Amino acid sequence: MTKLVWITTIAILFLVFVAPALFALPIDMLPANDQPGYSVNEKVSIYGKRMISQKFTSQADNLSAIGISLGNPNLKNKKPIILSLYEENNSFVRTSVLNGQNLEDGDFVKFVFSPISDSNGKKYTFTIVTPEAGAEEVIYVYHTKTIPDWMEWAKYTDVIELEVEGGLPFVTFHKPKSKLDVVKKVYSRFLLGGFQKP
Amino acid sequence: MKKLLILAIILRLLLAVFYFHPDIKTYNFQASFLKKGVFNIYSYLIDNKKTLTLKEEFVYSPLTYFVLGGYQAIVSPILGNRFDTWLANAESNSVVRDQNVFKYLLILKFPYLILDVAIAFLVMQFFDDKKNKEKAFTLWLFNPFTPILIYVFSNVDIFAVALTLAAFLFVKKQKLFVASLLIGLASGFKLYPLLFVPFLFTAGRTLKEKIFLGLTPIAVFGLITLPFFSPAFVQSALVSGLSTRVFNPSFNIGLNGTIIVSLLAISVLFFYGAFINKGQSLLNLWVGVFLLIFSFAYFHVAWLLWLAPFVVILIVKRPALSWLFLILTILAFAIPVLYEDRFMTVGLLRVYSTLYDQLPTPFSLLENFYDPYNLQGILHSILAGGSIVLLYKLLNKENT
């Protein structure tokens, strides 16, 4: 029974103090923001030449992914969905492609690309298109008026460019400086100096 | 023993504070309406679904509502005036980032701690000698499984578990009527103890006693639920997903006829206890019923607590079975870990950080290599096989 007392004590202390650090190790991207809330009724449909673009200021270095919720009604879109990233002067910097085949309706998906090391404070624009999709294979991109001040209102292009009423509910992800950085972030809530945003 | 108890309490408080399963917020949100004077929570939640921030129905029996709601009313000065706002908050990130979340979790799980400690003392009462009493006490407090079931998964079933354990203490003392009453009272918290009613029938010595023992829990349950009996109650608590899940798996026998697998298995056990091995211990039959349910139904991890104190008693009584119990317990824990549910694994860490939202679940990780449902099926089949062997051992050789 003494063995059992030791095993259980160690197991629970492990769960409380060590497991959070262990589970933090595989985390290779840190979100810069929470995803803004949105309604599935406020959306634009994208296919063919239709395109949505969104301007924003990166909140940290090592920008490495953009996460966004997309609709794939009746899972009909099985075509490539392309996110392209441009710098402020419209020069192309990164691209990332997902396939509609792997997109459940309403999924939060990440467009991952190689990190941009000095991205903090710089302005970028990303566009989302699914050029091979026909009118029956649309994807939905949702928008919301409640956006942080570092995002601008999105623009929707279908022959002409129009301003969408609101920005896209997206999240930017950034590669952490080190694994220790992630572990520190996980425990930061419990460090002296009061509660911090985890 | 005093030192062990203090250590056990400290460990439990740590788990209670740092691990969060969203169910605790959901059923406490529902129970919070008692403070506002809502009596029939079942119809209230359905009638007000459109305006409520959390849309779930109340799936428990009425006593869970009144006990949780009553407790909330008593401790509301400690919980503070922001507590109800926190309960009603449907935004998953701000809920775990609230600076009061640790206090809320500690206070809301405190009744579980009291019942948990009470169970430790109750399991001792099943033994006459000091050595076995201490064994049972230690095994309950220091097995690694029950603290996880109770505090990590915020298991409100502990009310029914404590009452069913007390019922079996009265079975041991040959006070079967009190045991029946307690089984009925336990079903006032959660429906599952009613599954044992047919077995109480077999325990009676005369036909009158059999009917009396069998009908008492149903009458108690009927009295508790009568004021709430409505389509809303039937829909939420009686035929909810969790309740019917036990009787879902079935196979076709043609012309739309089916055989319900778990009911078939329980029936075999019942007829065995009623006609073949009449002197069978009710405790063995109780354990048998739930071994069969876990074997043949898609069970929730929280359900494992239904059996936990009885397993402790059986292991102390029959140490030869401890390895078999251990293997089956590990299997029973491994299956829900593979469910497509973040709150079986990484989602439980969200109080530390919402960064864990980026981790894949074991289900989605496994998907890259193998069909997770297939693996669940393999593990579940092994669990069923082991459970049947365990049941055979329980029913046939009292002293091995």
Q: What is the DSSP string of chain A?
A: -HHHHHHHHHHHHIIIIIHHHHHHTT---EESSPPPP--TTSEEEE-TT-EEEEEEE-SSSSEEEEEEEEE-GGG---SEEEEEEEETTS-EEEEEEEEGGG--TTEEEEEEEEEETT-TT-EEEEEEE-TT--GGG-EEEE-BS---TTB---EEEESEEEE-SSB--EEEEE--S-HHHHHHHHHGGGSSSS----
> Closest Cα to residue B167, out of B147, B149, B188?
B188
pLDDT tops 60 at residue A198: no
Query: Rounded CA gap, B212 and B276, in Å?
Result: 22
Q: How many CB atoms lie within 10 A of CB A191?
A: 10
Residues A161 and A64 in one domain: yes
Residue A145 located in a structural domain: yes
Using an 8 Å Cβ cutoff, are B247 and B260 in contact? yes
Query: Rounded CA gap, A3 and A34, in Å?
Result: 45
User: Could you tell me the pLDDT band of residue B290, with boundaries at 50, 70 and 90?
Assistant: very high
**Pairwise CB contact (< 8 Å): B143 & A186:** no
Query: Rounded CA gap, A129 and A124, in Å?
Result: 17
pLDDT tops 80 at residue B175: yes
Using an 8 Å Cβ cutoff, are B242 and B59 in contact? yes
pLDDT by residue (tens digit) across B317-334?
999 999 999 999 999 999
Residue A198 located in a structural domain: no
Residues A80 and A134 in one domain: yes
Q: Tell which B residues from 110 to 139 touch A, by Cβ distance under 8 Å.
A: 134-135, 138-139
Residue A95 located in a structural domain: yes
pLDDT tops 50 at residue A194: no
Query: Rounded CA gap, A130 and A78, in Å?
Result: 10
Residue A183 domain boundaries: 2-27+179-190
Bridge partners (DSSP) listed for residue A128: A52, A83
User: Could you tell me the pLDDT band of residue B382, with boundaries at 50, 70 and 90?
Assistant: very high
Nearest to A23 among B143, B346, B354 (CB): B346
Which of B6, B153, B352 to mutate to test binding with chain A, by most A CBs within 10 Å of its CB?
B352
Those residues with Cβ within 8 angstroms of residue B21's Cβ, 6 or more apart along the chain or in another chain: B152, B153, B154, B343, B348
Q: Which runs of E-coded beta strand occur in chain B?
A: 250-254, 257-260
Using an 8 Å Cβ cutoff, are A35 and A170 in contact? yes
What is the mean pLDDT of the segment spanning A32-52? 88
pLDDT by residue (tens digit) across A131-150?
999 889 999 999 898 888 89
Residue A195 located in a structural domain: no
Residue A107 located in a structural domain: yes
What is the mean pLDDT of the segment spanning A164-177? 90
Query: Rounded CA gap, B151 and B305, in Å?
Result: 11
Residues A48 and A14 in one domain: no
Distance from CA of A31 to the nearest CA of B (A): 8
State the residue for tokens 């499984």.
B145
**Of A26-40, B185-199, B250-264, where does mean pLDDT reach its minimum?**
B250-264
CATH number at residue A88: 2.60.120
pLDDT tops 50 at residue A62: yes
pLDDT by residue (tens digit) across A46-55?
999 899 999 9
Report CA A65 to chain centroid distance, whole Å.
6
Residue B57 domain boundaries: 2-396
pLDDT by residue (tens digit) across B222-274?
999 999 998 899 888 888 766 677 787 778 888 788 888 888 999 999 999 88
Among chain A, residues having any CB pair with chain B shorter than 8 Å are 1, 4-5, 7-9, 11-13, 15-16, 19-20, 23-24, 26-27, 29-31, 34, 37, 182, 185-187, 189, 195, 197-198
What is the mean pLDDT of the segment spanning B65-89? 94
Residues A149 and A82 in one domain: yes
Q: If you average pLDDT over every residue of chain B, what do you get?
A: 91
Domains in chain B, number: 1
Query: Rounded CA gap, B23 and B108, in Å?
Result: 12
Residue A197 located in a structural domain: no
Q: What is the pLDDT of residue B400?
A: 43
Residues A15 and A95 in one domain: no
Query: Rounded CA gap, B153 and B213, in Å?
Result: 34
User: Could you tell me the pLDDT band of residue A30, with boundaries at 50, 70 and 90?
Assistant: very high
Report the C-alpha dihedral over residues B178, B181, B183, B187, rounded to 10 degrees. Answer: -160
In a 13 Å sphere around the CA of B286, the CA atoms on its Cβ side amount to: 25
Name the amino acid, one letter, at B337. V
Residues A145 and A82 in one domain: yes
pLDDT tops 50 at residue A193: no
Residues A51 and A131 in one domain: yes
pLDDT by residue (tens digit) across B8-63?
999 999 999 999 999 999 999 999 999 999 999 999 999 998 888 888 889 999 99
Using an 8 Å Cβ cutoff, are B316 and B140 in contact? no
**Pairwise CB contact (< 8 Å): B356 & A27:** yes
Residues, chain A, total? 198
What is the mean pLDDT of the segment spanning A164-180? 90
Domains in chain A, number: 2
Q: What is the pLDDT of residue A192?
A: 52
pLDDT tops 50 at residue A196: no
Q: Which two tokens stand for residue A76?
A: 């009909």
Local structure of residue B304 (DSSP, 8 states): G
Query: Rounded CA gap, B351 and B349, in Å?
Result: 6
Using an 8 Å Cβ cutoff, are A133 and A79 in contact? yes
Distance from CA of B131 to the nearest CA of A (A): 11
Residues A17 and A65 in one domain: no
pLDDT tops 90 at residue B157: yes
Q: If you average pLDDT over every residue of chain A, what do you get?
A: 89
Residue A151 located in a structural domain: yes
User: What are residue B127's phi and psi, to 5 degrees?
Assistant: -125, 150
Using an 8 Å Cβ cutoff, are B139 and B315 in contact? yes
Residues A123 and A184 in one domain: no
> Closest Cα to residue B211, out of B199, B201, B224, B198?
B201
Residues A40 and A23 in one domain: no
Q: In what order do the strands lie in the sheet with A160-163?
A: A92-99, A80-87, A123-129, A51-57, A155-158, A160-163
